[in-house]
């Protein structure tokens, strides 16, 4: 696994910076992001399975900084509550989301409730006032942007997946089952957590969903184009 990480680091440096996806990491109130192994493994699988190029590590970003717009993809995942945003940060994040940006919020507690989920919703109500959370049905294009997925999972099955939507575009996606935890691997190659209840099958499905999330942030609903429908329907019947 160490060799894999060294390869990823060298490969990333070899690509032009403006051609790589960078995962921008939003701030936490207390303990910081604790799923770096999940991001590294997701990037490894993303590079291996698709044509997307990405940095192996998420980078902390300030929502008030114009540099926020250098990535289309933000991640908010905290072991406790998220940080309380200043008014400038609220305005910056709102501009980012309204102008094409995407935010993935993943709950490490795998409960879909508690300090992270509650504080996230409070802050996003300030960012996008009046927007209501919607359930994301399995028929949504999110579940066919790259892989055809029949059930969204994570480290723990059954947690909610919801979104804030602007003009039918998912601008914030909340996954309550600790998707990053399902993918998290240490530098010796050991998985950090078990997936419940379906074990390694569930882990593979979690990777597929995470890759679809990245692809949706980059390509939106192009897979809803009619040219793709006959192929997708054939695959659905398999």
User: Taking 90 as the threshold, does the pLDDT of residue 231 lie above it?
Assistant: no
Q: What is the phi/psi pair of residue 110, to 5°?
A: 60, 30
CA angle 25, 77, 130 (to 5 degrees): 95
pLDDT in the model for residue 15: 45
Binned at pLDDT 50, 70 and 90, residue 237 comes out as very low
**Whole-Å CA distances, 163 to 135, 138, 173, 224:** 6, 13, 4, 18
**Each residue of 132-187: pLDDT tens digit?**
999 998 889 999 899 998 887 899 988 888 999 999 999 999 999 999 999 999 98
User: Taking 90 as the threshold, does the pLDDT of residue 236 lie above it?
Assistant: no
**Each residue of 82-94: pLDDT tens digit?**
999 999 999 999 9
User: Taking 90 as the threshold, does the pLDDT of residue 202 lie above it?
Assistant: yes
| Mean pLDDT on 59-66 | 94
DSSP notation for the chain: -HHHHHHHHHHHHHS-GGGSB-EEEPPBSSS----HHHHHHHHHHHHHHSS--B-SS-EE--TTSGGGGG-SEEEE--SSPBPPPPHHHHHHHHHHHHTT-EEEEE-TTSSS-SHHHHHHHHHHHHHSTT---EE--TTSGGGGSSS--SS---SBTT--EEEEEETTEEEEEEE-S-HHHHH-B-TTS-BSS--BTTHHHHHHHHHHHHHHHHHHHHHTTGGGSGGGHHHHHHHHH-
Q: CA dihedral in degrees (182, 187, 189, 192; nearest 10)?
A: -30
Distance CA 225, CA 206 (A): 25
Binned at pLDDT 50, 70 and 90, residue 67 comes out as confident
User: Taking 50 as the threshold, does the pLDDT of residue 1 lie above it?
Assistant: no
pLDDT in the model for residue 221: 55
Strands 73-76 and 102-106: parallel
pLDDT in the model for residue 18: 55
Distance CA 90, CA 2 (A): 39
pLDDT in the model for residue 219: 84
pLDDT in the model for residue 94: 98
pLDDT in the model for residue 161: 87
**Whole-Å CA distances, 56 to 33, 65, 109, 143, 185:** 15, 22, 23, 24, 13
Binned at pLDDT 50, 70 and 90, residue 128 comes out as very high
The percentage of residues in the chain with a pLDDT greater than 70, rounded to a whole number, is 84
pLDDT in the model for residue 184: 97
The percentage of residues in the chain with a pLDDT greater than 90, rounded to a whole number, is 65
| Mean pLDDT on 17-44 | 89
Q: Give the CATH number of the domain where residue 217 resides.
A: 3.40.50.12140
| Mean pLDDT on 121-127 | 98
Q: Which domain, by its residues, includes 28?
A: 2-237
Full strand arrangement of the beta sheet holding 73-76: 59-60, 23-25, 73-76, 102-106, 169-175, 161-166, 134-135
pLDDT in the model for residue 9: 43
Per the structure, how many domains does the chain have?
1
Q: What is the phi/psi pair of residue 207, to 5°?
A: -60, -45
pLDDT in the model for residue 31: 85
| Mean pLDDT on 120-125 | 98
Contact status, residue 55 vs residue 44, Cβ threshold 8 Å = no
Mean pLDDT of the chain: 86
């Amino acid at each position: 696994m160490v060799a894999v990480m060294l390869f990823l680091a060298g490969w990333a440096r070899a690509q032009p910076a403006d051609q790589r996806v960078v995962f921008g990491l939003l701030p936490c109130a207390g303990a910081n992001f604790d799923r770096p192994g999940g991001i590294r493994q997701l990037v490894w699988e993303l590079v291996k399975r698709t044509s997307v190029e990405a940095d192996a590590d998420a980078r902390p970003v300030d929502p008030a900084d114009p540099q926020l717009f250098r990535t289309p993809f933000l991640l908010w995942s905290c072991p406790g509550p998220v940080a309380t945003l200043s008014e400038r940060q609220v305005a910056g994040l709102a501009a980012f989301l309204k102008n094409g940006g995407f935010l993935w919020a993943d709950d490490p507690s795998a409960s879909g409730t508690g300090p992270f989920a509650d504080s996230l919703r409070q802050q996003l109500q300030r960012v996008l006032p009046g927007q209501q959370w919607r359930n994301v049905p399995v028929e949504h294009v999110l579940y066919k942007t790259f892989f055809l997925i029949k059930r969204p999972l994570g480290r723990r099955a059954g947690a909610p997946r919801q979104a804030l939507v602007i003009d039918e575009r998912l601008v914030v996606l909340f996954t309550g089952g600790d998707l990053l935890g399902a993918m998290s691997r240490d530098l010796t190659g050991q998985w950090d957590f078990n997936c419940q209840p379906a074990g390694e099958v569930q882990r593979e499905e979690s990777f597929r969903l995470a890759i679809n999330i990245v692809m949706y942030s980059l390509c939106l609903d192009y897979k809803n184009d009619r040219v793709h429908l006959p192929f997708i329907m054939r695959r659905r019947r398999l």
